[in-house]
């Protein structure tokens, strides 16, 4: 049975159709520094030791059939093997010793192979870890634009495949392909010496035909596997996307639609998987026919030589043993070729990600930002995501140290873009942003983000404990400091009522907490970070009026004494701001304090009136609902009210 039969296709090792085959040389050249690291002498010793043991194992592989031959000849003709004058003891001892030597040789061969794998394990795992870390760090360095354009499921899949591809390349090139070539060479030398060149020619033609057929068939199968793996990747991405948007799916009752979308990808995977198994059967059958034909010819030649008295039974057994040993690596050549090619493609896809340039980069030798006062200034800033659609147009304002400036405006005005530019998720296309007079493009990105605290509209928490999520603001903080931050954010009482307290799990993206509770965790996290500059990006727009008032009180305490930029949707949250800036279509059209803007009767006043009307309507509805709970029932087409108490 061919070993290919046990090599069930693994759906996790695919690349999308649009990804081209990797260039083997360039990929291995890029990978080599991780296998042969300059700063790790211990790993180099392991590689060298593994290669020495590998050579010894292959030498032993071609020597073992000699022991098989000698033992066979000794058993068939004991007198000849022991000598005419030898005693009975010698006649018995020689075959037994040869059989024992054969067994010891097989054990040593296995021991060498296991030692080789054990020595190389640390090398390959270190390469996987180093490259995986590099890829992970690089993913965080790429711009927000890159991540908004890529599916998270597909991106994690590429990284996972790349790390698995490293193991595949190391295993198949260093531990399989090179040893197999060495074994073929040694076997050819032994057969030419022990038999003649006719046998070598037959075996060479057999191997060439075997390899040719395997490569042609494997290339055919790879195209099928790519289709299968592309469907698997698509299904995985759809599953991740759907589960991340669990609530949205439930809101619209689209579980069946999501299941159908997922099933269509699985259906394509199923069809391609069936083709893969069918092609595998043809591959195994063709390999068996080719190799068995070559083996049959060699054994027929040996049988004829025995009949002529030119060879012994041991020679017949030896040629059979050599060919059987050669069949083992040949059986895996299809799997090795396919997995090696796939591994090269997966690693190449990972290197393509690593080669992707960082959109926002620090200048060479850029210093760290040192904040003395915390004044933030936008100087004639313009920005666009797409040159055809400018988002900000000559925005110019200042947030004095310790003061609060609010930015309001209709949706699409460019409010949230301002916070993204402050954090250098993007760089401005014109103008500049300064902190204490220093252009943030002239200092290290990490130092800019270290001095700015953010409370976003949609707080996404890690699937960990409340303590971990609050402590994320400053990982070195003590538990007492975490509790103090929670107290200041007015969430400590809620946390202490939970069965596990601060060790309570918040669930995926914080789904176990309400919107107000998540916002308080975000506020506590920012308090713990203790930044001199604070950005509140519509931090209460997703909350109800009652919760908003409670959260606003906590936000006011956090922003006290800090340079604060408030990006607001609800105007009631910014009436006390030192200055309010009104954006429309990327331009500042109004600015001033709340009372001044109300007197002008412009866009701000119009927005205020609309929101006040909406708030009054919501308050009336709330009162009706409260009345209903006290025993008033509203029913009937005329909305008649009936007391039921």
Selection from 399, 385, 478 nearest residue 435 by Cα: 399
DSSP run (H or E) holding 408? strand 404-408
Confidence class for position 638, pLDDT limits 50, 70, 90: very low
Instruction: Calculate ∠ Cα 261-264-265, nearest 5°.
Output: 95
Q: Cα–Cα distance between 511 and 470 in angstroms, integer? A: 16
The predicted pLDDT at position 569 comes to: 79
Lowest mean pLDDT among 26-30, 85-89, 573-577: 85-89
Confidence class for position 77, pLDDT limits 50, 70, 90: low
Query: pLDDT for 517-576, tens place per residue?
Result: 888 888 888 888 888 998 888 766 656 666 667 677 777 777 778 899 998 877 888 888
The predicted pLDDT at position 149 comes to: 59
The phi and psi torsions of 517 (rounded to 5 degrees) equal -65, -40
Residue in this structure with the two tokens 């790879």, named with its chain if needed: 222
Q: Cα–Cα distance between 303 and 501 in angstroms, integer? A: 82
Q: Cα–Cα distance between 13 and 346 in angstroms, integer? A: 8
Residue in this structure with the two tokens 């920005």, named with its chain if needed: 383
Domain spans of the chain? 14-355, 376-602
Q: Which CATH architecture has domain 376-602?
A: 3-Layer(aba) Sandwich (3.40)
Is 346 in a helix, a strand, or coil?
Answer: helix
Instruction: Give strand pairing partners of 505.
Output: 465
Tokens at 80, concatenated: 């000849």
Which of 84-98, 372-386, 410-424 shows the highest mean pLDDT? Answer: 372-386
Q: What CATH number has the domain spanning 14-355? A: 1.20.1560.10
Confidence class for position 581, pLDDT limits 50, 70, 90: very high
Query: pLDDT for 272-294, tens place per residue?
Result: 788 878 888 888 888 889 988 98
Query: pLDDT for 196-227, tens place per residue?
Result: 888 889 988 998 898 888 888 877 877 777 77
Domain 14-355 identical in fold to domain 376-602: no
pTM of the predicted structure, to 2 decimals: 0.58
Cα end-to-end distance, the chain, whole Å: 84
Query: pLDDT for 108-146, tens place per residue?
Result: 878 887 887 777 777 777 777 777 777 777 776 776 666
Please count the CA atoms within 13 angstroms of the CA of 212 that sit on its side-chain side: 7
């Amino acid at each position: 049975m061919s070993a290919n039969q046990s090599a069930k296709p693994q759906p996790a090792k695919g690349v999308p159709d649009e990804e081209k085959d990797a260039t083997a040389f360039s990929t291995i050249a890029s990978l080599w520094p991780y296998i042969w690291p300059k700063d790790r002498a211990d790993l180099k010793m392991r590689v060298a030791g593994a290669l020495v043991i590998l050579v010894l194992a292959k030498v032993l592989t071609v020597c073992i059939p000699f022991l098989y031959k000698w033992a066979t000849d000794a058993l068939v003709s004991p007198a000849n093997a022991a000598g005419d004058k030898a005693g009975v003891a010698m006649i018995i001892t020689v075959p037994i010793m040869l059989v024992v030597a054969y067994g010891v040789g097989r054990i040593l061969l296995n021991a060498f192979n296991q030692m080789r794998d054990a020595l190389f394990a640390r090398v390959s795992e270190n390469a996987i870890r180093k490259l995986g870390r590099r890829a992970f760090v690089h993913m965080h360095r790429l711009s927000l634009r890159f991540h908004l354009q890529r599916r998270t499921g597909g991106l994690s899949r590429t990284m996972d495949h790349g790390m698995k591809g490293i193991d595949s390349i190391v295993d198949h090139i260093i531990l399989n392909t090179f040893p197999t070539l060495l074994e073929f060479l040694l076997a050819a030398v032994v057969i030419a010496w022990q038999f003649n060149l006719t046998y070598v020619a037959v075996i060479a033609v057999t191997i060439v035909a075997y390899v040719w057929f395997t490569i042609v068939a494997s290339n055919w199968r790879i195209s099928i596997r790519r289709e299968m793996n592309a469907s698997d990747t698509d299904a995985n991405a759809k599953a991740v996307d759907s589960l991340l948007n669990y609530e949205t799916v439930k809101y619209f009752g689209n579980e069946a639609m999501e299941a159908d979308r997922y099933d269509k990808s699985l259906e394509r995977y199923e069809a391609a998987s069936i083709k893969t198994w069918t092609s595998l059967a043809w591959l195994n059958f063709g390999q068996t026919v080719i190799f068995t034909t070559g083996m049959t010819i060699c054994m027929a030649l040996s049988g004829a030589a025995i009949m002529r008295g030119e060879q012994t039974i041991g020679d017949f057994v030896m040629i059979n043993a050599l060919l059987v040993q050669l069949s083992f690596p040949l059986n895996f050549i299809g799997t090795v070729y396919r997995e090696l090619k796939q591994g090269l493609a997966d690693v190449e896809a990972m290197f393509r990600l690593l080669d992707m340039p960082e959109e926002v980069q620090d200048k060479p030798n850029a210093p760290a930002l040192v904040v003395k006062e915390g004044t933030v200034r936008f100087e004639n800033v313009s920005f666009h995501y797409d040159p055809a659609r400018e988002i900000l147009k000559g925005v110019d304002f200042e947030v004095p140290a310790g003061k609060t400036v609010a930015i309001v405006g209709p949706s699409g005005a460019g409010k949230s873009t301002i916070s993204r530019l402050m954090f250098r998720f993007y760089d401005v296309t014109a103008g500049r942003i300064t902190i204490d007079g220093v252009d943030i493009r002239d200092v290290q990105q990490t130092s800019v983000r270290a001095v700015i605290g953010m409370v976003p509209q949609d707080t996404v928490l890690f699937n960990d404990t409340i303590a971990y999520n609050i402590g994320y603001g400053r990982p070195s903080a003590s538990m007492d400091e975490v509790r103090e931050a929670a107290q200041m954010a007015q969430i400590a009482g809620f946390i202490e009522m939970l069965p596990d307290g601060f060790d309570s799990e918040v669930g995926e993206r914080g789904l176990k907490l309400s919107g107000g509770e998540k916002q308080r965790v975000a506020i506590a996290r920012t308090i713990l970070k203790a930044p001199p500059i604070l950005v509140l990006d519509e931090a209460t727009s997703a909350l109800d009026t009652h919760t908003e008032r409670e959260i606003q009180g906590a936000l006011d305490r956090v922003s006290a004494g800090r340079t604060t930029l408030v990006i607001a949707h609800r105007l009631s949250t910014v009436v006390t701001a030192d200055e309010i800036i009104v954006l429309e279509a990327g331009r500042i059209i109004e600015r001033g304090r709340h009372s001044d803007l109300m007197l002008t009767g412009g866009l701000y006043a119009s927005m205020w009136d609309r929101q006040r009307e909406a708030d009054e309507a919501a308050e009336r509805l709330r009162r009706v609902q409260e009345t209903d709970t006290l025993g008033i029932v509203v029913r009937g087409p005329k909305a008649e009210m009936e007391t039921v108490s």
